[in-house]
Structure 1
Amino acid sequence: MAGRIRDEDIALVRERTSIAEVISDTVTLRSAGGGNLKGLCPFHDEKSPSFNVSPARNVFYCFGCGVGGDAIKFLMDAEHLSFVESVERLAARAGLQLRYVEGDQAAPRHRPQQGQKQRLVAAHAAAVEFYQAQLTTAGARAAREFLAQRGFDRAAAERYGCGFAPEGWDLLTRHLRQQGFSHDELVTAGLSRPARSGSLIDRFRRRLLWPIRDLAGDVIGFGARKLFDDDDGPKYLNTPETPIYKKSHVLYGIDQAKREIAKQGKVVVVEGYTDVMACHLAGVPTAVATCGTAFGADHIGVLRRLLLDTDAVAGEIIFTFDGDAAGQKAALRAFEDDQRFVGRTFIAVSPDNMDPCELRLAKGDLAVRDLVARREPLVDFALRHVINRYDLDTVDGRVEAMRRAAPLVAKIKDREKRPEYVRKLAGDLGMEIEPVQRAVLAAGNAPTTDRDAPASARPRAAAPDPAVDSPQSMVEREALKLALQEPVLAGPMFDAVEAPEYRHPVHQAVRAAIAAAGGASAAAGGAVWIESVRDACEDLAARALVGELAVEPLRIAGEPDPRYVSVTMARLQWGSVTARIRDLKSKIQRINPVNHKDEYFALFGELLSLEQHARALREQAAGGL
């Protein structure tokens, strides 16, 4: 075991890490004002951005699902890494050398034991080098010819990391074992598999390979194309499901396309590896493809976060499918997913039923760009496809076509467009508007199950929201925000007001955690401080609230100053003191001063003291008005 990473090194990693840069690899962020950024949350499906990032404090928080933390926590949640793996990933990114504690001794280790994910990624990186080198050998002639016949030269092959799996049964396996990777690691990575004899052999043999990368650019799997007629395997063979490769989440080419997708607010979804290459090389840099599976909800989630697909910023999603029956069926499946996007969905089908790779080869780069430019709304394509299945020269054909097409019109998310599509459908069918309109309304009123509804419309557990919309609660939140966001400024004034002064129990728990973390007076601020407070929270709702308050803007125009802290703390105490005054008055009224004279006068004296304190606090609090 490599031991525990030294606390000072963890703090340095947090300090040297830009959380905005880390999150931008996954989520497109836009200005939210006040120096904060916002985007679509990667942890739940949403239509409007509630995911906030505070670059000044190096923390994030989602007001929709309650997830929050620093860059380490983000990687843990977004990429399912352990704490150590996340720290090591960020340290490598920042060029920092971590030191590990062995028992009670600390010593630098130049090659610390890595977590599972890092080991699997490292194995894939070594495999890429091996396969790329094999592509230049005599045995890879068929692979090189395959690429050349599709218009890809050596530079294109290198850009996309294309390689060749040689004929030997265990050449890669032996190569990786010599580099220190274990039997179990190679099997878990999907690079090798057990043979019937019990020995370990390569998963891919005699195939052209494309490395599949995640959003961060790490290779997590391979797609392998059959080259030889005597290969009895499938045409395409992909890496199996592994701890780092989930085919329902993976999009080929996303690492090269992500910045253009975010910049242009547009994505082109194609069907294969060569189609992605052809589009990129032809001047359509936003192309991506699924890897051995149908386009689904998880893929949509990835793209929506890159597109910042919201009501305010609606992107374009363009599907390219072959014009054959399989392609048309895929297009109709895509229309079923249309409701999961806020943006507009389109389809681009080549007049000659060629895919982008074939089109580029036959007619050049301009033809590929024209294909995308000539896109049509997906709903138009879907309606035309449905209607064309029926004989519109007969009454039965027109009525049946209306019944089948009406649900598609009812699903159009832009309600203002539905009347126009009702008229268009009626015209295409040669029918009066009224029966078509009734059919669409009936289809729209039909009940749907949670399974059919988009993820954003399904019920989900409410995020913890401990704040009550009351003046006292709001001022308590403001005080806690000051301590978390501006501890150097809040310092002694905040620490002087203890947890019992807070009326809400979750606010009390956060206040207690701040004290347990050493108090605001001793804090320097930033992600390290916020994580210290979060770690000190014994209450789960309090932990969530810390993340929320760390990014929530202060209720002041401009920068806070000591006067604002003083006013906030006075208002907080004034609310608490006035509540105690009410309790005391109620108790005094219930006491008989004759029979309980000592108790009565003791409480009366306490009341006078509290009222005097309340007047002083009111004057102090008025200083901010």
Structure 2
Amino acid sequence: MAKGLIRRADVDLVRERARLDEVVSEHVTLRSAGIGSMKGLCPFHDEKTPSFHIRPQLGHWHCFGCGEGGDVISFVQKINHLSFVEAVEMLAGRYGVELHYEDTGRGSGGDRPDFGTRRRLLDAHAIAEEYYREQLGTQAAEIGRRFLTERGFDQRAAEQFGVGFAPEGWDNITGVLRRRGFTEAELTASGLVSQGQRGVYDRFRGRLVWPIRDITGNTIGFGARRLLESDQGPKYLNTPETAIYRKSQVLYGLDLARKQIAAQHRVVVVEGYTDVMAAHLAGVTTAVASCGTAFGSDHVKIVRRVMGDTNPSAGLRLNADGRSLSGEVIFTFDGDAAGQKAALRAFEEDQRFVAQTFVAVEPSGMDPCDLRMARGDAAVVELVQSRRPLFEFAIRSMIDQVDLDTVEGQVTALRMAAPVVARIRDRAMRPEYARRLAGWLGMDERTVLRAVHEAARGGADTGRHVLRDEHEKSNGPDSGQDVGLPTVRLADVVRPRDPVGQVEVQSLAIMLQAPTLLDPEQVGALPDDSFHVPALQGVWDVMLAAGTLLDAVDGQLAPARYLEQVLEIAGETVRPLIVEIANQELPARTEDDLARLGSSLMDRLTELSITREYSVLTQRLRRAETEEEQQDLLRRLATVQEKRRRLRRGEG
């Protein structure tokens, strides 16, 4: 196994081999939009007129409606809600690129399997899932089918969620995998078997099993429910930690729920496999569950990425249905003491979300699976709709632990609850909850408000947001999300009726899109200060800093690789503008038209530069104080004039 980041050369090879038009066309209906360009309806926002453009030869896409853009890796990231590493691994598997991982020396990134090892482990799990599903139909699995039926799940539901049965015996799946060519070392690494004194044996025996999948649908582990009285193991037994399965980084059901989570900006966190099944079958299609561990910070990162939970300025804003426009995370817990404890643990993660967090607890203590069996699908939907803010639930749970009929109990409850109110992200809501707390405690409002204020001043966490997944940030140029950085859009810097601005935009566009159609002498003659629009001059500065524009013009460097080099050194603010310009549609129907347009644009850009230089020199001449300075400026003006005449005569 290798540690750390994917080798840069492998990432470049993935970009080179992955066909952008092929990947995008699986999600967008594309049609021709001129030379080297295709367009369609944007998959990332609602629109009726196509504004989503791709340029396969450059390997880049951009939506002129919502401003999103990037390369093939960033498209896979966004459409599938993956991290940079996950997107690269997905494309590598599709296009046959072997990945290697470099040791970063950080010691905190954890081990990642090399791509060959990962593929073998995924293959083993795919075979195991198929085997377990087949076994659910056997006579020996009657007890498993009865378990499902008693909980309201028929054969169709079992098939939808891939539920299977691991038969009794010590070497059933072990034998299957050995016959398929897997070595004992691979079996051990998979987590499907356990190591005994006499060798390996099946980990799951006589149990109902649920496949645990990653966000892309690959099975990476299993959860198994005890069925037999003779089974002395735990009620639920999961796959152990392996190279592809980390329980703190996996949410059961996310592969099924991710599209609806992204569309609804809502996720419902339940407690178990059958709860996820019940919720989805009842119509709550955003339900997920953690796998044998408490919902923690790594789960928060996953949910935030899928929800697009990135707007720290959004307060509690509701739509007509009473749903938070900034997104909702709803936790469901049993109504018993253990459920309350789980809710309070969840509250510790609340501050990591930008979305509003809620809790939904069924008064009689039923979980979604029990509730669906007892009262039907509508009751599960109603449970979710009855949600209330998580911090309100946390406050009430705290103060319910003490005797509020005594002064000592009231003071104790205030000391426990005031820091919670002080941590509410939306500061405008704190006074109202302080007043409610005063009512719950039976205390004077001013006393409670003072306690909340002191708790906030005393260093209570008042809503610090995790705005970037640090692991993703360190794994590639398109891997992180920069929240709050000002993003420059073309419409913000150049007006449609600005003829000079349009010339400058088109000049940059043709240099980025089709540099080989340009004359090296024309491009080489452009001065460093060729642009009067500051943002476009900033783009030109980055292009010059890359140092390889003339190599691209001469055909020594592929246009796609030149664009990559430009984007590599571009800052976060200007990078989206470069991508937008690289996807700008140009007024040309054929390659010859584009070549003539390029020549005309380079001449026009040069002429505009000469005009600006002439204007500057003229102004300086008016301010000149000595005859010597005047003569120098007159000579320079004559030179500029000669440049203009030669340009107009076509002499360069």
* TM-score past 0.5 threshold: yes
> 2:519, 2:281 → 1: CA distance?
61
Evaluate the alpha carbon distance shift between residue 603 and residue 572 of structure 1 in structure 2; reply closer, same or farther with a 3 A threshold.
closer
Pairs within 5 Å for 1:172-321: 172-197=173-198, 199-309=199-309, 310=311, 311=314, 313-321=325-333
* Map of 1:323 onto structure 2: 335
Match of residue 513, structure 1, among 548, 551, 560: 548
The answer as to whether partners of 1:499 and 1:512 remain within 8 angstroms in 2 is no
Evaluate the alpha carbon distance shift between residue 244 and residue 292 of structure 1 in structure 2; reply closer, same or farther with a 3 A threshold.
same
Q: TM-score, normalised by structure 2?
A: 0.70
Which amino acid in structure 2 is aligned with residue 609 of structure 1?
T
> 1:317, 1:465 → 2: CA distance?
27
- Measured after TM superposition, the shift of residue 411 of structure 1 is 1.5
Which amino acid in structure 2 is aligned with residue 265 of structure 1?
H
Which amino acid in structure 2 is aligned with residue 348 of structure 1?
A
Match of residue 639, structure 2, among 603, 609, 612: 609
> 2:504, 2:185 → 1: CA distance?
50
Q: Which runs of 5+ in 1 are unaligned?
A: 38-52, 92-97, 101-112, 594-600, 621-625
Match of residue 347, structure 2, among 320, 335, 346: 335
Evaluate the alpha carbon distance shift between residue 479 and residue 293 of structure 1 in structure 2; reply closer, same or farther with a 3 A threshold.
farther
Q: Secondary structure at the match of 2:197?
A: coil
Matching of residue 29 in structure 1 with residue 52 in structure 2: no
Match of residue 433, structure 2, among 421, 435, 443: 421
Q: Which runs of 5+ in 2 are unaligned?
A: 1-9, 29-41, 99-113, 318-324, 475-479, 495-500, 530-537, 589-596
Q: Secondary structure at the match of 1:30?
A: coil
Pairs within 5 Å for 1:588-607: none
- Measured after TM superposition, the shift of residue 129 of structure 1 is 0.6
- Measured after TM superposition, the shift of residue 211 of structure 1 is 0.4
| RMSD of aligned Cα (Å) | 5.1
Matching of residue 430 in structure 1 with residue 442 in structure 2: yes
* Map of 1:139 onto structure 2: 140
> 1:555, 1:73 → 2: CA distance?
15
Which amino acid in structure 1 is aligned with residue 605 of structure 2?
M
* Map of 1:533 onto structure 2: 562
> 2:150, 2:446 → 1: CA distance?
55
Matching of residue 358 in structure 1 with residue 388 in structure 2: no
After TM superposition, the structure 1 stretch with the greater mean CA deviation from structure 2, 421-430 or 297-306, is 297-306
Q: 1:330-372: CA deviations, max 9, x gaps?
A: 1112222222222322211111111111111222222222211
Evaluate the alpha carbon distance shift between residue 401 and residue 6 of structure 1 in structure 2; reply closer, same or farther with a 3 A threshold.
closer
* Map of 1:455 onto structure 2: 466
The answer as to whether partners of 2:60 and 2:70 remain within 8 angstroms in 1 is yes
> 1:449, 1:375 → 2: CA distance?
24
> 1:611, 1:466 → 2: CA distance?
39
Evaluate the alpha carbon distance shift between residue 308 and residue 546 of structure 1 in structure 2; reply closer, same or farther with a 3 A threshold.
closer
Which amino acid in structure 2 is aligned with residue 391 of structure 1?
D
> 1:295, 1:513 → 2: CA distance?
49
The answer as to whether partners of 1:171 and 1:202 remain within 8 angstroms in 2 is yes
Count matched residues.
552
The answer as to whether partners of 1:20 and 1:55 remain within 8 angstroms in 2 is no
Q: 1:221-274: CA deviations, max 9, x gaps?
A: 111122223333322222223333232221111122222223333221100000
Q: Secondary structure at the match of 2:208?
A: strand
> 1:82, 1:384 → 2: CA distance?
43
The answer as to whether partners of 1:493 and 1:569 remain within 8 angstroms in 2 is no
> 2:647, 2:519 → 1: CA distance?
13
> 1:466, 1:569 → 2: CA distance?
26
> 2:234, 2:381 → 1: CA distance?
31
* Map of 1:405 onto structure 2: 417
Q: Secondary structure at the match of 2:216?
A: coil
Q: 1:119-155: CA deviations, max 9, x gaps?
A: 3222211111111111122332332222122221222
> 1:499, 1:200 → 2: CA distance?
72
Evaluate the alpha carbon distance shift between residue 219 and residue 12 of structure 1 in structure 2; reply closer, same or farther with a 3 A threshold.
closer
Q: 1:80-100: CA deviations, max 9, x gaps?
A: 3696x5445445xxxxxx799
Q: 1:94-126: CA deviations, max 9, x gaps?
A: xxxx799xxxxxxxxxxxx97333332222111
The answer as to whether partners of 1:160 and 1:210 remain within 8 angstroms in 2 is yes
* Map of 2:164 onto structure 1: 163
Q: TM-score, normalised by structure 1?
A: 0.72
Evaluate the alpha carbon distance shift between residue 382 and residue 578 of structure 1 in structure 2; reply closer, same or farther with a 3 A threshold.
farther
> 1:117, 1:480 → 2: CA distance?
46
Matching of residue 386 in structure 1 with residue 398 in structure 2: yes
* Map of 2:535 onto structure 1: none
Matching of residue 78 in structure 1 with residue 83 in structure 2: yes
The answer as to whether partners of 1:214 and 1:254 remain within 8 angstroms in 2 is yes
The answer as to whether partners of 1:513 and 1:533 remain within 8 angstroms in 2 is yes
Which amino acid in structure 1 is aligned with residue 20 of structure 2?
R
Q: Secondary structure at the match of 1:501?
A: coil
